[in-house]
Amino acid sequence: MVAPLDGFHLSNETLDLLGLRSVKGAPQTFDARAFVEFLRQLRDEHAATVLWPDFDRTAEETVADAIPIGPETKLVITEGNYLLLNRPWWREVSQLLDEVWYIDAPRDVLRRRLIERQIAGGRSEADSVRHVDESDLPNAELVARTRRLADRTVAFDDAGGC
């Protein structure tokens, strides 16, 4: 079962109020506290079904209660950029995980794939390039600074495999 970090994006309305919509995807644009609380619930409440939020890339909004994770689930994989970040709330994440893996992709491959993802989500090519260069890549560089803390580093090749 996959429990993605993307379900914890702050709403677009909140991002607009905070002046952060242009950097959506940066650490401060997530509800890190709620992410930690959901992770704790998964670890501590084995008999309960946890209703995990997801993210709709077309609407650019979170979807509450989208992923039921039941007590029969043996393995939960959470994925997201900031699992090793040393900031309030984020620093608690790694303590709630059994292992953290870092996927090491070459910058040019990462940039190309991020632009493709933005375009597939409905942005123009120019807006996609701007968002990737001004937000996504600086976030990737921030994440790369914490890779030494990962339990395992996996190299990603241009053919799409690890």
Q: What is the pTM of this model?
A: 0.90
Name 67's Cβ contacts closer than 8 Å, sequence gap at least 6.
1, 2, 3, 7, 51, 52, 53, 54
pLDDT at residue number 68: 97
The helix (run of H) or strand (run of E) holding residue 153 is: strand 152-155
Q: What is the pLDDT of residues 103-161, one digit of tens each?
A: 999 999 999 999 999 899 889 999 999 999 999 999 999 999 999 999 999 998 766 56
> Binning pLDDT at 50, 70 and 90, where does residue 13 land?
very high
pLDDT at residue number 1: 94
The packing angle between helices 107-120 and 137-144, to 10°, is 140
> Binning pLDDT at 50, 70 and 90, where does residue 32 land?
very high
> Binning pLDDT at 50, 70 and 90, where does residue 11 land?
very high
pLDDT at residue number 59: 84
Arithmetic mean of pLDDT, 27-45: 96
All domains in the chain, ordered by first residue = 1-98 (3.40.50.300), 101-162 (no CATH)
pLDDT at residue number 47: 87
Task: Report the Cα–Cα distance between both ends of the chain, in Å, rounded.
Answer: 20
Q: What is the pLDDT of residues 59-72, one digit of tens each?
A: 889 999 999 999 99
